[in-house]
Structure 1
Amino acid sequence: MKFLNFGSLNIDKVYTLPHFVKEGETLSSDSFEQYPGGKGLNQSIALSKSGAQVFHAGKIGKDGLFLKQKLTAEGINVEGIVEDGLITGHAIIQVTPTGENCIFLYGGANKEITVEQIDQVLEDFNADDFLVLQNEINSLDYLINAAYRKGLTIALNPSPISDTMKDLDLSKIDFLLLNEIEGQAISGETSPNKILDHLLSNNSNLKIVLTLGTNGVVYRDKIQEHKQEIYKVKVKDTTAAGDTFLGYFLSMISQKADITSALNIASKAASLAVSRKGSSSSIPLLAEVLGKDA
């Protein structure tokens, strides 16, 4: 079983500030750091570190070659990444002393994915494999339809949320992994129970993982529901928490773990990630996660 992550590749530019910049305000940053990033890259690294066989597809510009090198160093196949983008996507990230973050993105090459590239990449995958998607690249509709026809298991993380997410055919999605804000935007509901009820009433095929911040996470499908509390740690940077959780959860599921175990291990991994600075660099190895005390 293989994981194809057709996902974003970004350069993360991280600024530490006393608080998030307000309208009309100018702040001096206490520090600046640059990291490999993008939800796609982060999720691929989380999948790989949790033991999955990962193939990453996407697009970068010549300024982003170090992102490809980073993935290769993490044991990820990068044959599906092309380098002819105009400029690599990047993120401007504000981080406060309490570890909260505020992010805005420029899509760059992530928004230049072609149908021809998609078709070529998908030739090497079949119904035994997973496709992982986020909302940081273009042509999601085409990708979902093409992968569905081939019988791939499709996992979607609709982040960053946008109106286009409401138009996607969720009947073709197997795993929907999202946070409360994204759930509200897609469903129009505000409470976690109503979000889950709405999504499943319209798409009974879905297996939904809804993260609730400090209130943990809930999994629900048409026959079962499971909840998982967070592991409390001193938070330094929450940037890659959701990506770490997703990678570990899907990897555990692919290895035939039950839902309870997958949620538990993914939550431990996310707690380790937020206790460290950085995005992809904060993602722990499986041995660290399994060795973490409950």
Structure 2
Amino acid sequence: MAIWNLGSINADFVYAVPHVPAPGETLSSTGRQVFLGGKGANMSVAAARAAARVHHIGAVGEDGRWATQRLLEYGVDTRNIAEIDTDTAQAIIMVDPQGENAILLHPGANAEIPQVTLQAAMAEAETGDWLVIQNETNLQRTAAQMGKKLGLQVAYAAAPFDAERVQAVLPHLDFLILNAVEAQQLQDATGQAPQDLPVRDVIVTLGGDGADWYGAEGKTHFPAIKVDPVDTTGAGDTFTGYVLAGLDRDMPMAQAIKLATKAGALMVTRHGTADVIPDLSEVQAFIQ
């Protein structure tokens, strides 16, 4: 089995700030680092580090060759990452001492992934593989329709949230993951609570309060592991990648969520994004 991720690839510029700035406020940073990032890249790295076979489908500019190489070094198949004539996406991330963040995103190449790149990847996918999509790229509806037609299991991370885009892919989904704010926004748009959505499995992440899984047997709550966070950036993507890797290895959903909860808890104790996502051995050793 394998995971095919139509996902974003960013250069993440992370600035340490005394607090997240208010409108009109100018702040000096106390530190700056550059990481590989993007929700898609984070999920690909997390799933690969959780021992899944991961194929990333995406695009970068000439200035993003380093990002493709970094993904390859982390065990992700990069043959379906196109190099196109536009800038690689960038994220400006401000992180305060409590680990909270604010993010400015320039979509760049993520919004211009060639359809031929997606088609070439899907030609290699096999029935039962996972296809993962999220809201930082183009071609989401096309990918969801194509994946469903080919017998793939289709997963969707509904962030950054857009109600219309979520509703466009809902009929094709087997798995939906979103946070509590996004779940409320979707309910406001559709009138459907998570348990009412036409999706086999729905996970609503609750930050420090854990996560709720809505499956065939109803709602199951999973508490968070208490840690002292230093940076919450990428924690949700790490959780998602670990859940999908577990499911791809035929773990029961509850077991996959428990493993992913450990990975997410460990992630928030680190500064950075894809480059610092914990591997499976670290997660298994964490809080035994």
Give the TM-score, by structure 1 length: 0.94
1-side partners of 2:92 and 2:102: how far apart? 8
2-side partners of 1:100 and 1:24: how far apart? 19
CA displacement 1:228-247 (0-9 Å, x = unmatched): 11111111111010011011
Match of 1:264 in 2: 258
1:167, distance to aligned residue in structure 2 (A): 3.4
Partner of 1:159, secondary structure, is: coil
- Asked if structure 1 preserves the Cα contact closer than 8 Å seen for 2:3 and 2:131, the reply is yes
Match of 1:209 in 2: 203
Partner of 2:193, secondary structure, is: helix
Gaps of 5+ in 2: none
Q: Map 1:8-27 onto structure 2 (within 5 A).
A: 8-27=8-27
- Asked if structure 1 preserves the Cα contact closer than 8 Å seen for 2:140 and 2:169, the reply is no
- Asked if structure 1 preserves the Cα contact closer than 8 Å seen for 2:129 and 2:248, the reply is no
1-side partners of 2:277 and 2:151: how far apart? 30
1:273, distance to aligned residue in structure 2 (A): 0.4
Q: State whether structure 2 residue 181 is matched by structure 1 residue 186.
A: no
Partner of 1:98, secondary structure, is: coil
Partner of 2:233, secondary structure, is: coil
1-side partners of 2:14 and 2:287: how far apart? 30
Match of 2:125 in 1: 125
Structure 2 residue aligned with 1:224, among 208, 218, 224?
Answer: 218
- Asked if structure 1 preserves the Cα contact closer than 8 Å seen for 2:82 and 2:113, the reply is no
1:25, distance to aligned residue in structure 2 (A): 1.1
Partner of 1:169, secondary structure, is: helix
2-side partners of 1:288 and 1:239: how far apart? 19
1:138, distance to aligned residue in structure 2 (A): 0.8
Please report the RMSD computed on the Cα atoms of aligned residues, expressed in angstroms: 1.6
1:202, distance to aligned residue in structure 2 (A): 4.1
- Asked if structure 2 preserves the Cα contact closer than 8 Å seen for 1:157 and 1:177, the reply is yes
Match of 2:66 in 1: 66
1-side partners of 2:105 and 2:115: how far apart? 23
Q: Map 1:21-36 onto structure 2 (within 5 A).
A: 21-36=21-36
Match of 2:193 in 1: 198
Q: Which amino acid is 1:198 matched to?
A: A
1:181, distance to aligned residue in structure 2 (A): 1.3
Partner of 2:241, secondary structure, is: helix
1-side partners of 2:176 and 2:162: how far apart? 15
CA displacement 1:3-58 (0-9 Å, x = unmatched): 11110000001111111111111111111111110000000000000010011110
- Asked if structure 2 preserves the Cα contact closer than 8 Å seen for 1:85 and 1:112, the reply is no
Match of 1:293 in 2: 287
1:272, distance to aligned residue in structure 2 (A): 0.5
Partner of 1:168, secondary structure, is: helix
1-side partners of 2:245 and 2:120: how far apart? 25
2-side partners of 1:88 and 1:29: how far apart? 24
Partner of 1:154, secondary structure, is: strand
2-side partners of 1:166 and 1:112: how far apart? 19
2-side partners of 1:75 and 1:136: how far apart? 22
- Asked if structure 2 preserves the Cα contact closer than 8 Å seen for 1:235 and 1:275, the reply is yes
* Residues 187 and 76 (structure 1), Cα distance of their counterparts in 2 relative to 1, 3 Å cut: same
Structure 2 residue aligned with 1:278, among 272, 280, 283?
Answer: 272
- Asked if structure 2 preserves the Cα contact closer than 8 Å seen for 1:226 and 1:259, the reply is no
Q: Which amino acid is 2:19 matched to?
A: H
2-side partners of 1:139 and 1:62: how far apart? 21
- Asked if structure 2 preserves the Cα contact closer than 8 Å seen for 1:171 and 1:206, the reply is no
